[in-house]
Amino acid sequence: MDYEAAARKLIVYSQGLAKGSLGTARSLAVGEAPVLQYLSDKGTEMNPSVLADTLGYTRPRMTRILDSLVSKGYVERKNDENDRRKVLVRATPEGVEYAHKQGESSVNAVANQLSSLGDKSAQELLNVLEKAYSITYDREPFEKPKKRRARDRS
């Protein structure tokens, strides 16, 4: 297999699918939608560095994404009450509402595409993407945040 040619195809196809299905061509730039969705799902304040590490972004890229989301009114920054040198971010009510609407729209669009593939092909695609994610980020595939148990809090 020509892995370089395959990589080029994968990049083109994945970017095209993201723009077409996930709405990145709308009012959010590439990279903003996952950040806003994660903050909305999490529902709590978060350190931007931890957020960057969690989602696999560099810290400078996360800063640019957060700057843009703040300017759109979807995210707000505030100083940590315990350490004023630290900054925390969270989704605003407008950001949560926008993420919910866009998330539902994106899920419906991708679900339609997956159903067009059929059960077997859709499952194969998910398996390969999960494996690629694990290799890329050296961790288990990302899951939607769940409520934290008391022993998970630190």
- Whether 77 is covered by a domain: the verdict is yes
User: How far, in Å, are 10, 23, 34, 110, 136 from residue 66 at the CA level?
Assistant: 27, 18, 11, 26, 23
Mean pLDDT, the chain, whole residue set: 82
- Whether 53 is covered by a domain: the verdict is yes
Residue-wise pLDDT for 66-105, tens only, equals: 999 999 999 999 998 888 889 999 999 999 999 998 878 7
- Whether 60 is covered by a domain: the verdict is yes
Tell me what pLDDT residue 137 has: 74
* Count of the separate structural domains present in the chain: 1
Cα–Cα distance for residue pair 16/42, rounded to 1 Å: 28
Tell me what pLDDT residue 6 has: 80
- Whether 130 is covered by a domain: the verdict is yes
Of 105, 86, 2, the residue nearest 46 (C-alpha): 86
- Whether 144 is covered by a domain: the verdict is no
- With a CB cutoff of 8 Å and minimum separation 6, the contacts of 115 are 122
Residue type for position 149: R
- Whether 19 is covered by a domain: the verdict is no
Cα–Cα distance for residue pair 117/122, rounded to 1 Å: 6
User: How far, in Å, are 49, 69, 95 from residue 72 at the CA level?
Assistant: 21, 5, 9
| Higher-scoring residue by pLDDT: 116, 26 | 116
Full domain range(s) for residue 48: 26-137
Tell me what pLDDT residue 80 has: 85
Percent of the chain with pLDDT over 90: 40
- Whether 3 is covered by a domain: the verdict is no
DSSP percent split of the chain into helix, strand, coil, nearest 5:
65, 5, 30
Please report, for the domain that includes residue 30, its CATH number.
1.10.10.10
Tell me what pLDDT residue 146 has: 45
Take residue 30 and report the two structure tokens written for it.
């590439």
pLDDT band at 150 (very low <50, low <70, confident <90, very high): very low
- Whether 110 is covered by a domain: the verdict is yes
- Please give the model's pTM, rounded to 2 decimal places: 0.63
